[in-house]
Amino acid sequence: ATATFIVDDPHLWSAETPYLYTVVIETAGEAIVDHIGIREISTEGGVLRVNRQRVTLHGVNRHDSDPVTGPVIAQEQIMRDLKLMKEHNVNAIRTSHYPNAPHFYDLYDRLGFYVVGEADDESHGASCVVAPDMSERAALERWNRMISDNPEFTDATVDRVRRCVERDKNRPSIIMWSMGNECAYGCTFEAALAWTKRFDPSRPTHYESARYVADGKTYDFSNLDVHSRMYPTLESIEQYFSDEGPQGDGSNGDDGANGTRPYVLCEFCHAMGNGPGDLEDYFELIQRYDGLAGGFIWEWCDHAIDRGTAPDGRRVYAYGGDSGEYPHDGNFCIDGLVYPDRTPHTGLKEFKNVYRPARVTAFDQKTGTLTLRNYMDFTDLARYMTMHVELMCDGEPIWMSTPRVPSIPPHGEADVMVPRLVDAIPDEGKATLVVRYSLKAADELLPAGFDLGFDEVPVETSDPRNQTVVRAANAAGKANDLQPTVAERGATLVIENARFRHVLDRRTGLFDTMTVGNHSLLDAPMSIDIWRAPTDNDQYVKAQWFAARYDHATTRAYDMAWSADGGVARVSVTMGVVAPVVQRIATVKAVWTIASDGSVDLRMTVNRDARMPFLPRFGLRMLLPRTMDRVSYCGLGPLESYVDKRRASWHGVFSGTPQTLF
């Protein structure tokens, strides 16, 4: 029997406002209590909507994994994960690649997460069958044919999906049903999708592997509601959302005529090694195209076994054959946003700030007015957060303010005037505004005042150079009473005065030793360095690097000229970056300018042979004495800063040690 109830003016559930109603079902001698949320999911107009509002998924793929208990996860362990996710602006979870423990969904409902509920179905290994034709296309055909398009597996496939859907159908956090992962496509999944849509038409259906099909055969994609991809390039996403409308990509039924499904990145921005990169670029596309619903980082945590503590105090984790097992995936299980013990990787910090709830979109320096955009889907910013503005100059805070956050509706913008900011802006120096966002009121997991992210806004000055550096350079320029001399001594040039003595190797064009005030600055001769240890993301290009002998590169000087006048010495060098048995890798034209205080300015022009692969890195390698064990710098920090991974850093003065910086 069924009963229908109408709730007038309901308080709707969303990940931002996870309101739950208590339902009590009583019979003689028994009472059942549950908590339900009221909400509506749709894909109208090719846009994923919750409660008729477009939402974006900033999610993670989550496996059951712990370094001590393995795949057995208790309440306190999942709560630790969910708290970390909320601390880093994660709002969605894909249950890769199986249903979670039933009580986990109660937490997802209560704490506010959008969930892709995935059935326990994966048959990726079917593509590994050995056959005379081992081409990629043939392997895909075998993968498709053996299980997913084999009627003998229809009942088993539908059963796995049915058990997932039947068990968790009342959980409001589940906004999408996923048929499984990496099984290819065929009659089994056509049947599973059809059953799911008949049983629960209220939720969209998802299955990324629908794109792996046999050639020359027609498939039914009519019950598939979203277009899902793993690791698509930015260019391919833009092509899908072309000016002429969604064009599809030849899969999931999107052939250019009916490519109108919401686009979900079920896995993207792989977090392995020094990843993930490009998060900001994907965020920009998600904001540009309403049909791009967002996605799920692969993946939440590193998978490894706790082996205790090493003699030097470091924690030891075992994986990828460390226990003598075979087969294994090497380090391909160490690919998460957090370490096995849940210490965040810097990639999680990057994720957090990319998905901050608000952003400064404009700054009127003449009036001290910031334009603030609300990136939340259901919450007014005035109710959710406070803001704190710091004016920085040459890496140091010089002024601060806490302006009131005005009412800004979801996806809206408003101006925030910062009182007295205009008068505080310096005339000179590298100036920025660091605008920090904090949680206004405590919620179930986070305290009031918890950091939600920040913006850094450039501020114009008459001289944007760092004035500390300018003053030091000016002081060095005034101390030109001791003209450096240049003397040719065998295979070296000696540049010196009473303050310093630098020795340059004429065979390499680089310094062998540098001494200032009787203190040696180098423990070994300087070198140009183009090599580094290949990272996980270099797995495809590293073979080209080894073939080009980049790991054996050295420097050779071909031509050199020098002069000494005006309080400085100058050495001009033409060098080659060379390696055994291959052509010259790069030609370098360098000009060394040595001031009377021993400071050195280097200007380089580098031309790489176009036939060579791109360089792993380029720079000077200088081994410093071990006594130099502290580092202070002014620049982007405190985390690492790469062209595709720098949104969690800001300009400031930071300090550390070689151990903390590497």
Neighbouring C-beta atoms of residue 48, cutoff 10 Å: 27
The answer to whether the beta carbons of residues 368 and 417 sit under 8 Å apart is yes
Single out the catalytic residue among 141, 208, 267, 390.
267
* 224 Cβ neighbours under 8 A, 6+ residues apart: 193, 205, 206, 207, 210, 252, 253, 261
CA–CA separation, 372 and 391 (whole Å): 17
The answer to whether the beta carbons of residues 422 and 367 sit under 8 Å apart is yes
CA–CA separation, 93 and 112 (whole Å): 10
The side-by-side arrangement of strands in the sheet containing 53-54 is 41-42, 49-50, 53-54
444 in catalytic set: no
Any idea which residue has 């003998």 for tokens? 152
* 383 Cβ neighbours under 8 A, 6+ residues apart: 440
CA–CA separation, 285 and 242 (whole Å): 12
Angle (CA) 498-500-502 rounded to 5° is 130
Any idea which residue has 């608000």 for tokens? 358
Q: Are strands 492-496 and 500-505 parallel, antiparallel or unpaired?
A: antiparallel
Q: Give the three-class secondary structure for 457.
A: strand
* 121 Cβ neighbours under 8 A, 6+ residues apart: 97, 157, 160, 161, 179, 180, 181, 183
* 635 Cβ neighbours under 8 A, 6+ residues apart: 395, 641, 651, 654
The answer to whether the beta carbons of residues 624 and 331 sit under 8 Å apart is no
* 608 Cβ neighbours under 8 A, 6+ residues apart: 585, 586, 614, 615
Torsions phi, psi for 592 (to 5 deg): -95, 130
Angle (CA) 49-51-57 rounded to 5° is 40
Cis peptide before 638 (omega within 30 of 0): yes
Element (H, E) at 158: helix 154-168
30 in catalytic set: no
Q: Of 13, 33, 31, whose CA–CA distance to 22 is shortest?
A: 33
Cis peptide before 502 (omega within 30 of 0): no
Cα 69 to the chain's mean position, in Å?
28
The radius of gyration of the chain's CA atoms, rounded to the nearest angstrom, is: 30
> Per the structure block, which two tokens stand in for 212?
């792996």
SS (H, E, C) 587-632: EEEEEEEEECCCCEEEEEEEEECCCCCCCCCCEEECCCCCCCCCEE
Q: Give the three-class secondary structure for 164.
A: helix
CA–CA separation, 63 and 73 (whole Å): 10
Q: Of 263, 304, 303, whose CA–CA distance to 282 is shortest?
A: 263
CA–CA separation, 60 and 39 (whole Å): 22
Amino acid code (one letter) for 109:
D
CA–CA separation, 269 and 259 (whole Å): 24
Single out the catalytic residue among 118, 141, 182, 390.
182
Q: Which residues are catalytic?
A: 182, 267
